[in-house]
Amino acid sequence: MPVVAITSVDQRNARRYIQVMEAAGATVRLLTPGMAGTPQELLQGVGGLLLSGGPDVDPALYGEAPDPAAGLHTCRPLDGLELAALRYALDKDLPVLGICRGMQLMNVAFGGKLIQDLPGHREEKQGDKLVSQKHSIFLSPGSKAAAIIGSAGFFRVNSRHHQGLKEPQRAPRLMSTAYSVEDGYIEGLESVEHSWVIGLQCHPERQEEVPRSFANLFLALKERAEGVR
């Protein structure tokens, strides 16, 4: 079976990502901060990379000071691990899927910035649970994500983030492929320089909260990883 590396702040955060990739038929290698080894050693034999959701990306990485009012929770060891893993994957032209924080980190790695805090997209507390918000996005025809999902157009998806980006923050080397209908925040990014580098702001690993066809993203990542030699 193909091996897909998943980066995460810890094992608990990685649970859903591991489940969907194993269900798609991949062997998972979990990478967390503090693991010993160079990117070459950690990714030896890996055919694909999944950058998961998690803490906020440190604003210092895109040349800004933290906004005290933004309520940031950062993890520089995770930033360092993911940036090194992503650089390695891009150099090898491995398939990469970035989800939520993963898409944001992709944008920073390619030279873009982030909005440190934005309203209306974060999960809400209901009783003792955190519940995803929902909103509509438009996924562009011709994007790799649309081809994988099986259609373009409007979709109702979950939202669990308080950072994000609009066009002024987008890395010029990345292409916007999806937008939030209500407020224009970017919901999808793809690299035009690489074979298969896709980022989505929503959480397709929470499969009960997105259209069923979004599961094709994990199947496609497994299939692309399978073709890496």
Percent of the chain whose pLDDT exceeds 70? 99
CATH of domain 3-226: 3.40.50.880
The predicted pLDDT at position 128 comes to 75
For residue 205, indicate whether it is catalytic.
yes
More confident residue, 82 or 123: 82
For residue 202, indicate whether it is catalytic.
no
Model confidence at 161, pLDDT cuts 50, 70, 90, reads: confident
> By the 8 A CB rule, do 46 and 5 touch?
yes
Check whether 94 has a pLDDT greater than 90: yes
Model confidence at 229, pLDDT cuts 50, 70, 90, reads: confident
The predicted pLDDT at position 69 comes to 92
> By the 8 A CB rule, do 114 and 165 touch?
yes
Residues sharing a CB contact under 8 Å with residue 170, sequence separation 6 or more, in sequence order: 107, 112, 176, 186, 189
Question: What would the mean pLDDT of 105-111 be, rounded to a whole number?
Answer: 98
Kindly report, residue by residue over 173-199, the tens digit of the pLDDT.
Answer: 999 999 999 999 999 999 999 999 999
Please name the residue that has the structure tokens 């398939």. Answer: 95
Kindly report, residue by residue over 122-133, the tens digit of the pLDDT.
Answer: 777 677 777 788
Of the residues 187, 190, 205, 209, only one is catalytic, namely: 205
Residue 132: CA atoms inside 13 Å, Cβ hemisphere, count?
18
Of the residues 82, 100, 162, 202, only one is catalytic, namely: 100
